[in-house]
Amino acid sequence: MAGTIEERIEEILRALKGRHPGQEEFMQAVEEVLVSLKPLFENQGEEDYLGAFSVIAEPERVIKFRVQYPTFGPEGAELHTTTGYRVQFNSALGPYKGGLRFHPSVSESIIKFLGFEQIFKNALTNLPIGGGKGGCVFDPKGKSDSEVRMLCEHFMKGLYRHIGPNLDVPAGDIGVGGREIGYMYGEYVRLKGQPDMGVLTGKSTDFGGSKLRPEATGYGLVYITLEALKKYNHYRYLPEERRAGVAENCFKGLKVLISGSGNVAQFAAQKVMELGGQVCSFSDSTGTITSTEGFSEDQLKELFHLKNVKRGRVSEMSTAEGLEYHAGKSVWELGLNCDIALPSATQNEITLEGAKNLAAGGCWCVAEGANMPTTNEAVDYLKTKVDIYIPAKAANAGGVATSALEMAQNSARLFWSSEEVDEKLNGIMTNIFATAYKTAQEFDRPWDLQFGANAAGFLKVYKAYKAMGYLKF
């Protein structure tokens, strides 16, 4: 095909935008991967990676359905209507796999960006899972348990005919945890008239869930960060006065900023603290809570209870023991010092300004717990300032990887112990790091894990699509 690589990249983006108008987040996610893969395109030889990319960037199937659910106010029940989405993006490597998001910001663009990211993330796990994502607009804030159950059941009424253990296996994401998966699975069984555990992952261990699934994204994030610390031997770059108490290749004594306070943030914090690191922040949509010396174990327990049982806001943490609450502020606006940043809240939370604050505060490692938490310009900036940048597709893959382990256990009709799952999760994260690093190294850019992760994920899907005859007339 004619044209320079830059011209072809422009053309692919223009054509995709024409077919998916007004979908900013989706375009951002596609552009991030496309532009990062330039070194691959420049060395494509006989292959047509660019042509393949334009095929892979188009979802295999987009499903939209009406969801009607009641809420119960003082005036009686009220019926609400919303749109349910399921984007079955890519099945080259296995059944569509990815979470469901219930949040006010959900749109077709958000679900497509997440589904697109999921393709490459899932490929990196080296497990047989394709990419998909779904969800709907819903604000769980202040909703009763019954109202959440109503939404889940009515959402499943629209979704159930499109999913199945060998077809599409949803799980959780923002606003969808164990409680919601339980309600959705209950409704699925009612509608189908038979149990089929493998249709959803992230189930409670009471009825078919895997041990350690709730912990997996956060733990995986820390395991891969540890791999990076080892590989790049960061310890030797620390100034002399900071080395005391900082064991080599370990979190000991390192200051870690975490954003978010959901599943990923909570378990990343637990693991960082277990390894001796100081977790100095959490946040939610209303503000940030910080601790200069690092949260204590009791404070972390309080946060778990607040978020998972009381379903409250971080502002409700007791600030007596050296905690400070910053109303309406994100972690990245505060200009805090840190060694490591683990953005684990939501997309685009680190803007260029936030990235500058991080660099100015001495941050030398960013590992992404949330999906696309950093804007494209902020990624470009950070890559020039920090020593280690681990993109979400690699860094937060532990969740979906453990979902795939849940699928395997459900198919085999047996359960593994926490130790077995943890060992497998650790192995998968180590392997993801090694794959991204090796791919980056092969292209003479060993520091560039953004390229390494994107290229390794892309090549896996490319090879499968090529073998399936999807790439040539």
| 3-class secondary-structure state, position 149 | helix
| CB-based contacts of 68, cutoff 8 Å, min separation 6 | 79, 80, 81, 82, 154
Check: CB of residue 339 under 8 Å from CB of residue 362: yes
Instruction: Output the residue with the shortest Cβ distance to ligand GLU.
Output: 99
> Quick one: 97 or 154, whose CB is closer to ligand GLU?
97
371 is a contact residue toward ligand GLU (CB under 6 A): yes
- Least CB distance to ligand GLU at residue 23 (A): 19
254/264 Cα distance (integer angstroms): 19
Please list the residues that pair with 164 across neighbouring strands: 168
Which position among 97, 112, 121, 133 bears the catalytic label? 133
Q: What is the contact mask toward ligand GLU in residues 90 to 129, using x (rule: CB under 6 A)?
A: -------xxx------------------------------
> Quick one: 330 or 403, whose CB is closer to ligand GLU?
403
> Quick one: 49 or 219, whose CB is closer to ligand GLU?
219
| CB-based contacts of 254, cutoff 8 Å, min separation 6 | 246, 277, 278, 339, 340
Residue type, 426: N
- Closest Cα to residue 120, out of 370, 353, 396, 346? 396
Residue type, 230: K
Q: What is the DSSP letter of 291?
A: E
Burial of 22 (0-12, 13-18, 19+ CB in 10 A): exposed
Q: Which helix (H) or strand (E) holds 287?
A: strand 287-291
133 catalytic per annotation: yes
Q: Which stretch, 16-24, 79-87, 171-179, 294-302, contacts ligand GLU (CB under 6 A)?
A: 171-179
Site residues for ligand GLU, 424-453, by CB under 6 A, read: none
> Quick one: 95 or 354, whose CB is closer to ligand GLU?
95
- Least CB distance to ligand GLU at residue 204 (A): 14
- Least CB distance to ligand GLU at residue 129 (A): 8
Site residues for ligand GLU, 312-341, by CB under 6 A, read: none
> Quick one: 85 or 364, whose CB is closer to ligand GLU?
85
Please list the residues that pair with 170 across neighbouring strands: 98
- Least CB distance to ligand GLU at residue 104 (A): 17
382/229 Cα distance (integer angstroms): 17
Among 400, 405, 425, 436, which residue sits at the site for ligand GLU (rule: CB under 6 A)? 400
Site residues for ligand GLU, 183-222, by CB under 6 A, read: 201-202
- Least CB distance to ligand GLU at residue 93 (A): 13
Among 115, 135, 178, 399, which residue sits at the site for ligand GLU (rule: CB under 6 A)? 399
Please list the residues that pair with 169 across neighbouring strands: 97
409 is a contact residue toward ligand GLU (CB under 6 A): no
Q: Which stretch, 79-87, 152-160, 267-275, 397-405, contacts ligand GLU (CB under 6 A)?
A: 397-405
Q: What is the DSSP letter of 309?
A: I
Check: CB of residue 284 under 8 Å from CB of residue 295: no
Number of residues that bind ligand GLU (CB under 6 A): 12
> Quick one: 201 or 374, whose CB is closer to ligand GLU?
201
Please list the residues that pair with 88 across neighbouring strands: 61, 132
Burial of 408 (0-12, 13-18, 19+ CB in 10 A): middle
Residue type, 467: A
- Least CB distance to ligand GLU at residue 212 (A): 12
- Least CB distance to ligand GLU at residue 126 (A): 15
Q: Which stretch, 105-113, 167-175, 319-327, 342-350, contacts ligand GLU (CB under 6 A)?
A: 167-175
> Quick one: 357 or 403, whose CB is closer to ligand GLU?
403
Check: CB of residue 281 under 8 Å from CB of residue 288: yes
> Quick one: 88 or 403, whose CB is closer to ligand GLU?
403
Check: CB of residue 227 under 8 Å from CB of residue 452: no
- Least CB distance to ligand GLU at residue 173 (A): 4
Pure H helices in 167-239: 178-192, 213-231
397/270 Cα distance (integer angstroms): 18
Binding site for ligand GLU (CB under 6 A): 97-99, 171-173, 201-202, 371, 399-400, 403
User: Could you list the active site residues?
Assistant: 133
